[in-house]
Each structure stands twice: as structure tokens, then as C-alpha cells.
């Protein structure tokens, strides 16, 4: 498994990302995560729709909260052909509780807590914390990455406009 020391920072402190980082134009390695009802969701099950896949350290933190709410607002205008997902290591029950309290209904929260499979497949698993780095991937209908941003500093927000523009273009909206 690939390790990238200093690939991201948390409050300026370098952290190591683990996993095989796919490039734009690649399809990520297959993975399965858990929905809030504990059902399994595979990456392959998302094919057929454009997918905005945001990985976050924890939904219940200020920057992740802001990010999920921002994507939730944008998702409402993207249409049914675009799935917007927030993947974290939070337990599915905590994700469901947070989404309910925050009124987030247009972003589907998924948990990678069981196997860290998404984190490893996307190259965003933080070795020192066993959390996911802040990143955004936009996948086309065939599951190929068409946009990728791994945010260098965990306390910074991603480039929403760039990711959403690619998603809108791929969806034809």
C-alpha cells in the first residue's frame, strides 16, 4: 500500500495519506461503504449517475459541517442524474443524527468506518488519525474520475465551484 508522507496537513502539521491515489481519467479501485441503515453501498452501484464524492474527516466538525451544508444546497439544483455523497469514518448512526439535525437531505452520507476501503481506494486515509482527508472526486456515469481535489490543509474548504461545474457539465445541465 502506498504511503505519501506530508501529503496533507492539519493545522500545519504534516500527515501521511495511505492508499493508491487514482488520477483523473482513472476509475478508482472498487470499494464498499455503509449507508445510514447499515446496508452496503458499492462504488459500482453508483454507475449510471454522475457522482460528486466528498471525503471528510468527520461530519460533526465545523469545516465538514460547512462543506456538507454547501454541497446539500448545490445538490438540490443538480437534478436526479447527479448523486452527491459525503463519506467519512463516522458511524452510520452518528451520520444519520447529524444529517437530521442539520437538515441535510440532498447529500447521502456514507460510512467508511468498518474497513477504510474507500479511504484506501481513493488514497485519502490518514495514517496517523484513521480518518479521511478532505477531498472531492467527480466521477462520470461510468465511474471514471473527471475531477479530483485533495485539499492540502484539512481545515480548509474545497473548491466547490470547480467540482460542481464539472458535475453540471457531465450531467448536461
> How does pLDDT run across 118-172, given as a tens digit for each residue?
999 999 999 999 999 999 999 999 999 999 999 999 999 999 999 999 999 999 8
Domain that holds residue 114: 28-171
Specify if 98 maps to a domain: yes
Any domain includes 165: yes
On the 0-12 / 13-18 / 19+ scale of CB atoms within 10 A, 110 is buried
Q: Does 70 reside within a domain?
A: yes
Give domain status of residue 6, yes or no: no
At residue 80, the pLDDT reads 87
Q: For residue 102, give the CATH number of its domain.
A: 3.40.30.10
Number of domains the chain is built from = 1
Average pLDDT over residues 94-104: 92
* Helix (H) or strand (E) segment spanning residue 167: helix 160-171
Say if 1 falls within a structural domain.
Answer: no
In a domain, 20, yes or no: no
Rounded to 5 degrees, φ, ψ at 134 are -75, 120
Residue 173 has pLDDT above 80, yes or no: no
- Whether 12 is covered by a domain: the verdict is no
pLDDT digits (tens, 9 = 90+) for 32-90: 999 999 999 999 999 999 999 999 999 989 999 999 999 999 998 998 899 999 999 99
- Is there a domain that residue 18 lies in? no
What is the spatial distance between Cα 34 and Cα 28, in angstroms, rounded to a whole number?
Answer: 18
User: Using 50, 70 and 90 to split pLDDT, how confident is the model at 1?
Assistant: confident
Say whether pTM exceeds 0.75: yes
Catalytic residues, by residue number, are 64
User: Would you tell me how many other CB atoms lie within 10 Å of the CB of residue 172?
Assistant: 8
**C-alpha triplet 127, 131, 137: angle, nearest 5°:** 105
Q: What is the pLDDT of residue 142?
A: 96
Predicted confidence at residue 82, as pLDDT, reads: 95
Amino acid at each position: 500500500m502506498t504511503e505519501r508522507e506530508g501529503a496533507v496537513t492539519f493545522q500545519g502539521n504534516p500527515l501521511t495519506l495511505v492508499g493508491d491515489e487514482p488520477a483523473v481519467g482513472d476509475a478508482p479501485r472498487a470499494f464498499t461503504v455503509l449507508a445510514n441503515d447499515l446496508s452496503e453501498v458499492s462504488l459500482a452501484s453508483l454507475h449510471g449517475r454522475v457522482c460528486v464524492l466528498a471525503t471528510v474527516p468527520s461530519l460533526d466538525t465545523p469545516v465538514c459541517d460547512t462543506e456538507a451544508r454547501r454541497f446539500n444546497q448545490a445538490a438540490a439544483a443538480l437534478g436526479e442524474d447527479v448523486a452527491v455523497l459525503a463519506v467519512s469514518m463516522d458511524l452510520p448512526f452518528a451520520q444519520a443524527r447529524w444529517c437530521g439535525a442539520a437538515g441535510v437531505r440532498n447529500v447521502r452520507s456514507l460510512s467508511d468506518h468498518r474497513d477504510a476501503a474507500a479511504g484506501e481506494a481513493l488514497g485519502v486515509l490518514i495514517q496517523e488519525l484513521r480518518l479521511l482527508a478532505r477531498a472531492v472526486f467527480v466521477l462520470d456515469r461510468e465511474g471514471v474520475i473527471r475531477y479530483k481535489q485533495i485539499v492540502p490543509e484539512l481545515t480548509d474548504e474545497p473548491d466547490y465551484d470547480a467540482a460542481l461545474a464539472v458535475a453540471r457539465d457531465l450531467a448536461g445541465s
